[in-house]
Amino acid sequence: MRRIVARWTAGAVLVLLMAGGCTPAREQTPLFNGQDLSGWVFILRDKDVDPMTVWSVSDGVIHCTGKPSGYMRTEADYADYKLHVEWRWPEEVGNSGVLVHMSLPDEVWPRSIEAQLNWGDAGDFWVIGGAEFAEHVETSTRRVPKRAGSSENPVGQWNTYEIVCRGNTIRVFVNGVLQNEATETTVSSGKICLQSEGRPIEFRNVYIESL
């Protein structure tokens, strides 16, 4: 009798979980392993500068000096994912960005869509190198302003970017706040880049979840 009750209880729990719409957690794929920068390619405007003097790793954090301008990009291409990136300004505010759907050739700056990290503007889109989408883009800057006021944290505190790329749509969340959406993008896959653009910036916990 006890075995029958136990089996019924386990079955009932399974049915309730299914009815409640529970789904397994999506598997995370780290883009940064917390120890070194393997899996990344480095492009700088000044080709005579050693990238390892610009980018370094310690205590599970990517440190970028911000000079010269350039980016580090993934070796692989990605599509249909949620990208998680944490960043902070360790000293003073500055400019940087996360580029998605980047395509070759490597140049400063490559064809891509940028989720802006410039202080106060995190959540803006910048359209680079001929990429396009349906929303109105400022002609002079190729910029699409974020929807709401800044949701960034003060200097020295960590911020979270979640960039959801599904098909031809990109949505960006800054510290949990939906700040922008691009639809009918002309690019839907490519490499992922982190920018070096003037000021020291730090990154950690860089990973994607497949959609």
How many angstroms separate the CA atoms of 41 and 72, rounded?
5
User: pLDDT by residue (tens digit) across 26-74?
Assistant: 789 999 999 999 999 999 999 999 999 999 999 999 999 999 999 999 9
- The CATH code that applies to domain 26-210 is 2.60.120.560
pLDDT-derived band of residue 140, with 50, 70 and 90 as boundaries?
confident
User: pLDDT by residue (tens digit) across 155-202?
Assistant: 999 999 999 999 999 999 999 999 999 999 999 999 999 999 999 999
Which pLDDT belongs to residue 21? Answer: 54
Q: What is the DSSP string of 90-148?
A: SSS----EEEEEEESSP-SS-EEEEEE-STT-BTBEEEETT---SS---TTT-EE--SS
pTM of this structure:
0.87
Q: Tell which residue, 64, 72, 170, has the closest CA to residue 127.
A: 170
Question: Which is higher by pLDDT, 139 or 199?
Answer: 199
Question: Which is higher by pLDDT, 125 or 11?
Answer: 125
Which pLDDT belongs to residue 24? Answer: 58
Question: Which is higher by pLDDT, 97 or 11?
Answer: 97
Which pLDDT belongs to residue 78? Answer: 98
Which pLDDT belongs to residue 3? Answer: 44
User: pLDDT by residue (tens digit) across 85-135?
Assistant: 999 999 999 999 999 999 999 999 999 999 999 999 999 999 999 899 988
Domain boundaries, the chain: 26-210
Tokens of 161: 């970017």
User: Is 60 exceeded by the pLDDT of residue 8?
Assistant: no
pLDDT-derived band of residue 4, with 50, 70 and 90 as boundaries?
very low
Sign of the dihedral defined by the CA atoms of residues 36, 85, 184, 24, in that order: positive
User: pLDDT by residue (tens digit) across 13-31?
Assistant: 444 444 455 545 678 999 9
